[in-house]
Amino acid sequence: MVVPAERVIGEEGLRATPAGLRLAMRLPWYRSLPFSTVAVASVVIDGEPVDLTDVRVEFDDHSWSLAELAEATNVFWFIRDSAFLVMPQACAEPGSEHSVTLTLNVAPPYIPGMIRTNPETATLTVA
Amino acid sequence: MTVANGPQLGVTLYSFTNEWLTRQFDLDTLMHEVARRGLGPNIEIIGFQSFKEFPDVSDRFAGTFKDLVAATGLNPVSLAINSDRFLRPGQQPIDDATLVEYHKRQLRSAKKLGFSLVRYQFALPVHLLPEIAPYAEDLGIRMGVEVHAPMWAGHPAVLAYREMYDKLQSPVLGWIPDFGGTATAIPPSLLDAARAAGAKESLIELVKEIWPEPGMSHEKAGKLREIALKAGHDPRHIQAVNLAFFILSNNDPKSWAELVDRTIHIHGKFYGVNEAGVEEAIPYDTILPLFRDGGFTGTIVSEWEGHAYCEADAFEQVRRHQAMCRRILADEPVAA
């Protein structure tokens, strides 16, 4: 059983967009954290790892590459809000169903020595 | 009913983390629910949990919050702030000037929102206190450093802070004991949750064996991880049991007596109060009288942390915890 503070797949699920598949993500912690303390470790769709080279992470007005995400020390992922992973290397038909495994790593900035790995698998229908 | 001039009870909204994260309540409806159930009026809020604008809240939001406080009749006693030193994992901490300013931003927000004190953390290096304390004095807000597991009254970090507190003699600096530092055992509910997730009994035995050893939390967690991985345990089960090292340690509960005089607020940490009114991991019968008889008249906020591994009813847990505290503070024996 995954408690709420371990969940990484967001309620908004998976959506097909012109820029690629868009996956909702939740921060697996109990308080907001700077985006630089979070890493997208992997995405696997139907057993196939997704190439994360060109992905973007979107939140409010922001859009980052993974390299830019690691530098985002002064933007906070509000614990109640979803961020979105846009994957140009992944596409799927609206209405199709897929098994999605997302893994986020979190290093809380006030607890030296702690890195948490949070995988979650869900079957999602593409909007 | 608590004694008018003894320790007061309250609740930290952190207890309702599951309800918050699942969006069952927003700030407005959660505060109304806490008030409706009589779990207030004293509350603590974690700035980074409940306020999207944190660490820099706007005048507009502060106004909204104050209206909410007035509407619910709650009393915002404590705002929990954080010492976010390691903004890039694995790299050097941020520089002192940035960390000092980070604290000042949060202190300003706390004052603006109407809180009486802040909970700050030992992750703030003690040599920066001489810069921050005068700022809090000027603002007119108190600062309590949370003595959280693995720390206790005799821990070197606490002793270093005590020396600095003696040196500064500031009217705004104090302690916030968190009773998780003086637990008698790893909560059975935490171990049961690990078992339910598939953790083998040998892993449970391993964490019970390592938990009472001396050492820093992440060192013990690293030690368990190394042994457990070699023994073939699932990393997710290892992560589940390793939580115990970061939230609990088994120091002597009577040691709190040394900190009573500068205690300004208390985190009544707990994991599960049963129907007989007894908490499963922390000896409240030993601890609460120390503060009551030592003259503490501030607030003990009920802090249920079982949400980290289970989805029990937080409101019921807090109700039971407050009933237990009332019983002990009034010196009533446990019902047979």
Please identify every stretch of chain B with a pLDDT value under 50, giving residue numbers as ranges: 1, 336
Give the pLDDT of chain A (127 residues) as one tens digit per residue: 689 999 999 999 999 999 999 999 999 999 999 999 999 999 999 999 999 999 999 999 999 999 999 999 999 999 999 999 999 999 999 999 999 999 999 999 998 878 899 999 999 999 9
Query: How many angstroms separate the CA of residue B267 from the nearest CA in chain A?
Result: 17
Can you tell me the distance from the alpha carbon of A11 to that of B64, in angstroms, rounded to the nearest whole number? 28
Task: Show Cβ contacts of residue B91 under 8 Å, excluding neighbours closer than 6 positions.
Answer: none
Comparing CB atoms, the residue among B87, B121, B216 nearest residue A37 is B87
Inter-chain residue contact A81 with B310, CB threshold 8 Å? no
Write out the catalytic residue numbers of B. Answer: 148
Asked whether the beta carbons of A7 and A120 are under 8 A apart, the reply is yes
Distance from CA of B195 to the nearest CA of A (A): 11
Give pLDDT, residue A111.
87
Ordered DSSP codes for B35-64: HHTT--SEEEEEHHHH-TTTTS--HHHHHH
CB half-sphere exposure, B335, CA atoms < 13 A: 7
Rounded-to-integer distance, Cα B34 and Cα B40, Å = 6
pLDDT score, position A1: 67
The reply to whether residue B308 touches residue A3, judged by beta carbons under 8 angstroms, is yes
Distance in Å, alpha carbon of A69 to nearest chain B alpha carbon: 10
- A27, A69, A78, best to mutate vs chain B, most B CBs in 10 Å: A78
Residue-level length of chain A: 127
Chain A residue at shortest CA distance from B122 = A110
- DSSP secondary structure letter of residue B258: G
Q: What pLDDT shows up at residue B3?
A: 58
Contacts of A4 in chain B (CB under 8 A): 17-18, 21-22, 307, 311
Query: What pLDDT does B336 receive?
Result: 47
Euclidean distance between CA atoms B82 and A31, whole angstroms = 10
Give the pLDDT score at B215: 86
Residues 6+ apart with CB under 8 A from B30: B13, B16, B19, B20
